[in-house]
Structure 1
């Protein structure tokens, strides 16, 4: 039976996954011939409908869609479009969204084929970050969100060819010819972070000391630092953006050293780009999984991680370096080591 934990993670990631194409729509001749041309499309999916006939009604903060004054699912389905349509529902009064922004939105998505709701972030009062630098986002968002304003609300209808293409998306119940209808509210727009940004925090005594400029590996001094009995999470800079949640894709820059001697064993700066991982997918050590959840984007976080939450405690009989005469050749080189990381949280999606 599938783990309930992973069902939760899949649900947490669903709002973002729905607006990211699994692969680009087909571009070879056969695919284009099969999905282009109004006559062929009308025959297979039905006549085109107008987004101008769709309205948004709200019960408190919860939106529903109506079509020609009726609940969407009771309209003359399927609702079909063969090109992207957009309609402004409400004007915004905030900053203009730049082409390179990370845009915080709340949205409702409905399948035009059957009128069923696919995803709504309004129900959990959550937002989704759409990174307009991510070319995997649906083209409609990359093309239409820049130039809008924070506070704006809009409707968008996407033809199948501009969403998941001829494969559809069985995970969300989207067929190969299904139009997708979105209602979006733009909550915030920020330029992507390249380093931590926020309020400085005075660390507690007894921890490793850190010098960091956000552009090169952090200098971490472990002299006099206490060995951890449990995970230590110490913000050094407290960011002002949203909190990291289970299931999100997180982008970070980091530097790691061993607590025993302060030797650097890894840093993302030497690879020239941030590291990305999904929280809860098992790609990082447990100390990262636990330590970064709940921290805010923009934060710089000092993690002091006991060996048990890093690469495992040394086996019985090991010396201080974690080695034995019959060392396991499969053991991680950092087994038995307490580790220290400085992590800049640059994004969470």
Structure 2
């Protein structure tokens, strides 16, 4: 189903009663899974949003790829439908004009990085790209909480540097090697890293995955099982602005699946 339904979005500045329905109460700090309390009142018929907290980072702009953690719950019984926090895999939202509902654009574009935003509305206007409706009707009310990690141009890369290419001498057993040193914040275990990357198969050296092919930068949480093998040691301790290359005898995660891979990764940001 293409999620390009027209929508009118009512903006409120805080949680509580508003004309047309009540809003949930959301507690917890940015970056942690939110706790959502659904009120007894009716949700209203129009999609509505509330900026719960405002970050201090760069504002997302039209044309950006927006990276965000998302929690979506059903209004009727407050059961979870989806969350990226437990999966340690933030959502990558590519505004390509085809799959993303208008409400997501209105909620995510123009927000400073570090902001938490609430969206309440019908499932057809709250579910994001490629999200399984799980048998619910298009009119069922959902509650979505977004933690905006940041917005980045689709072709974001290290300033003044060509696109990454796999070094000719890289093999699956090659340990991490810094091709370009970074001068930004240090990447620590458990951080969310924003990267552009190229992954090549071995021994063909043909590119089999790339953030550029996927539409732009991707976010990953540096914890075991959430990133491909080798990323924890390859990226941990590096600094934002670095380009790193390394090989891996395995490609899949959880570890132990898939064939050998060669990686070149540009670290654009770390949160």
Q: TM-score, normalised by structure 1?
A: 0.47
| Structure with the higher fraction of residues in strand conformation | 2
Give the number of equivalent residue pairs.
230
1:84 aligns with 2:30: no
Q: For 1:130 and 1:121, locate their aligned partners in 2 and report how far apart those are by CA, in whole Å.
A: 11
> 1:107–1:120: 8 Å Cα contact kept in structure 2?
yes
SS in structure 1 opposite 2:106? Answer: helix
Q: Which has the larger radius of gyration?
A: 1
Match of 1:133 among 83, 88, 95: 95
Give the secondary structure class of the aligned counterpart of 2:57.
coil
- Which of the numbers 192, 197, 207 marks the counterpart of 1:252? 197
Conservation of the 8 A alpha-carbon contact between 1:100 and 1:131: no
Alpha-carbon separation, structure 2, partners of 1:59 and 1:98: 24
Runs of 5+ unmatched residues, structure 1: 1-22, 37-48, 67-71, 198-211, 259-263, 278-287, 311-338
Deviation, structure 1 residue 24: 0.6
Aligned to 1:55: 25
Matching residue of 2:40: 75
Aligned: 1:191 with 2:153: yes
What SS does structure 2 have at the residue aligned with 1:290? Answer: coil
CA 1:195–1:26 in structure 2 vs 1: closer, same or farther (change >3 Å)?
closer
Superposition CA RMSD, Å: 5.3
Match of 1:143, SS? helix
Q: Partner of 2:255 in structure 1?
A: none
Match of 2:58 among 70, 90, 95: 95
Contact 2:3 2:100 in 1 (8 A): no
- SS of the residue 1:100 aligns to: coil
Tell whether the 8 Å contact from 1:111 to 1:174 is kept in structure 2 after alignment.
no
Offset, 1:253:
3.6
Q: Verify the 8 A CA contact 1:104 1:127 in the aligned structure 2.
A: no
1:128 Cα deviation from its structure 2 partner: 1.9
| CA–CA distance in structure 1, aligned partners of residues 200 and 137 of structure 2 | 44
Aligned to 1:343: 264
Task: Provide the rounded CA distance (Å) in 1 between the counterparts of 2:49 and 2:250.
Answer: 49
- Which one scores higher on RCO, CA 8 angstroms, separation ≥ 6? 2
Which structure features the higher share of helix residues?
1
> Offset of 1:169 from its aligned partner?
3.5
Structure 1 residues 162 and 102, CA gap change in structure 2 (3 angstroms): same
